[in-house]
Amino acid sequence: MYKIGLIVNPIAGMGGRVGLKGTDGREILQKAKSLGAISLSPKRTTAALEPLSVIGDKLKLITCPGDMGENETISCGFVSDIINGIKSKETTFADTQKAARIIRDRGVDLLLFAGGDGTARDIYVAIGTTLPVIGIPTGVKIHSAVFASSPSKAGELSLLYLQKKIHKLREVEVMDIDEQAFRNGIVKARLFGYLKIPYERRCIQGGKLGSSPSEEIIQKAIAEDIIESMDNNFIYIIGPGTTTRAIMQRLGLSCTLLGVDAVYKKEVTGLDLGESDLLKLINKEKTKLIITPIGGQGYIFGRGNQQLSPQVIRKVKRDNIIIIATYNKIVSLKGYPLLVDTGDLSLDRELNGYVQIVTNYHERTVYRVKF
């Protein structure tokens, strides 16, 4: 018997069609409704559930009442188990979070959720990486890699995972974009957290050469390279991300996945440091800053690591910045350069040019940085 959870955000996506960006907040929601917006979630959710019909007789959906999942489950003809404690109408983000926890505690294999980045944030707040999830894209601002490329793809991926045809999981960033700023044309993204998703390894046939190593192994290799070249006279500032976290893990140190940490003589000298902490810490000559692109579009500064302010970056100096990234990350950029948006345009210009990214043990890939 397969057990999966399903949470549907019934209002996600309503803003987009009518020209609004997102539906955070009651006012925006009312405006959207008044503009004739209809929810896309139900249709997208049923499209996602469709591929699962091949295991329909062995599948049970643990879900929320009414328009948060029950409706779609019934219309697709699946066996359902409705959880208690959630309203069936006019639900809010608190309901999403509560539902996620309850569903997780029911011992499901996987949680499917339909919504946008806001919904992803709520799922993160509720359950973090304690359960694999897959996002069904319905919302406007789909920035997070937790969402499948299409609703049916979300369903296919779920099916493969349940049938154990894929079983690898990876952590993907959940971003938070300042809605207000976004509506005014300014992109201010924050790294909010990480969720765990199943992923399909492509090219599983060996062909001429067998297969290539996974993301985790490469991250370990990069960490090995960084640690090997660590100088005890330098302070190392470690930016957020899973690739940078691998360094801390290899050293056996605690770290903050979303925050900026500092290491000296292979010991922690600061965790989750803010801009002022960093400025105090940085010794002009002997500091290295290790960062990795955050957020999918290849930003090395400006998305998710704002503690690294222009002042901090300037104090560290360009030559002391080490960028690390797995080759898969580079490939995902599809040839577009790495980007910087520090908030200081002249600094952005200075950072423009070629950098050598550490992409494996004793391997560097030359790449362009643009502002």
Partner 1 sequence: MNSKKIVYPYIPNSEPQVQKEMLQEIGANSINELFSDIPEKLLLHKKMNLPKPFLSEYELKRHIESILSKNSTCKENISFLGAGCWQHYVPAVVDEVIHRSEFLTAYAGEPYEDHGRFQAGFEYASMMGDMLEMDVVSIPTYDWSQAASTSLRMSCRITGRDEVIVSKTINPNRLLVIKNYCNPNVNVAMLDFDPKTGLADINDLEKKISNKTAGVYIENPSYLGSIESNGAKLSEIIHKAGALFLVGVDPSSLGVLTPPINYGADIVCGDLQPLGIHMNYGGGVAGFIATRDEKEFVSEYPSRLFGIAPTENSEWGFGDVMWERTSFANRESSKEFVGTAAALWGIAAGVYLAVMGPEGMQELGKGIIQRSLYAQKEIGKIKGVKVPVLQSANYCEFVVDFNNSGKTIKEINKTLLKKGIFGGKDLSKDFPQFCQSALYCVTEIHSKEDIDRLVFALKEVF
Partner 2 sequence: MKTKLRNYHAVCWDEPIIYELDRNGERAILVPEVDKKITESVGDGISSIPKSMRRKNVSQLPALSQPQVLRHFLHLSQETLGVDFNIDIGQGTCTMKYSPKIHEQFASSEKVAEMHPYQDESTSQGLLEIMYKTEQLFKEISGLERFSLHPGGGSHGIYTISSIIRAYHKSRGEEDKRNEIITTTFSHPSAAAAPRVKGYKIIIICPDDNGCPDIEALKKVVSEHTAALIITNPEDTGIYNSKITEFTKIVHNFGGLCGYDQANANGLLGITRAKEANFDLSFFNLHKTFSSPHGCGGPGSGIVGVTNKLAKFLPVPVVNYDKENNKYFLDHDSSDSIGKVKDFYGVIPVILKAYAWIMSLGAEGLREVSNVAILNNNYTMKKILELRGVSMAFPEHKHRIEQVRYSWEKLTKDTGINTENIQRRIFDFGTHYWTSHEPWLIPEPFTIEPSESYSKDDIDEFIAILGQIVKEAYEDPKKLKNAPFKSSVHHIDHDVFDDPSKWAITWRAYKKKYNGYFQPK
Partner from partner 2, partner 1, none binding residue 334, C-beta < 5-8 Å depending on class:
partner 2
* Beta carbons of 118 and 13 less than 8 angstroms apart: no
Nearer to partner 1, 212 or 233 (CB): 212
Nearer to partner 2, 180 or 211 (CB): 211
The residues binding partner 2 (CB under 8 A) are 150, 152-153, 164-165, 167, 202-205, 207-209, 211-212, 327-328, 330-331, 334-335, 353-354, 356, 359-360, 362-368
Partner from partner 2, partner 1, none binding residue 93, C-beta < 5-8 Å depending on class:
none
Nearest to 227 by CA among 278, 219, 307: 219
E-strand ranges in the chain read 2-8, 59-63, 79-82, 110-115, 133-137, 169-177, 189-198, 235-238, 261-264, 267-270, 287-291, 299-301, 321-323, 338-340, 353-360, 363-370
| Shortest spacing between CB 251 and partner 1, in angstroms | 13
Residues 6+ apart with CB under 8 A from 170: 196, 197, 199, 215, 216
Partner from partner 1, partner 2, none binding residue 224, C-beta < 5-8 Å depending on class:
partner 1
- The CA distance from 262 to 243, in Å, is 15
| Shortest spacing between CB 224 and partner 1, in angstroms | 5
Partner from partner 2, partner 1, none binding residue 185, C-beta < 5-8 Å depending on class:
none
The residues binding partner 1 (CB under 8 A) are 204-211, 213-214, 217, 220-221, 224, 361-362
Partner from partner 2, partner 1, none binding residue 53, C-beta < 5-8 Å depending on class:
none
Nearer to partner 2, 102 or 333 (CB): 333
Taking the CA atoms of residue 140, residue 145, residue 180 and residue 311 in that order, the dihedral angle to the nearest 10 degrees is -160
* Beta carbons of 221 and 360 less than 8 angstroms apart: yes
| Shortest spacing between CB 212 and partner 1, in angstroms | 9
- The CA distance from 83 to 104, in Å, is 11
Nearer to partner 1, 34 or 205 (CB): 205
Enumerate the β-bridge partners of residue 63: 6, 82
| Shortest spacing between CB 164 and partner 1, in angstroms | 13
Nearer to partner 2, 88 or 152 (CB): 152
Nearer to partner 2, 275 or 350 (CB): 350
User: What is the Cα gyration radius of the chain?
Assistant: 22
Enumerate the β-bridge partners of residue 80: 61
26 three-class SS: helix
Partner from partner 2, partner 1, none binding residue 220, C-beta < 5-8 Å depending on class:
partner 1
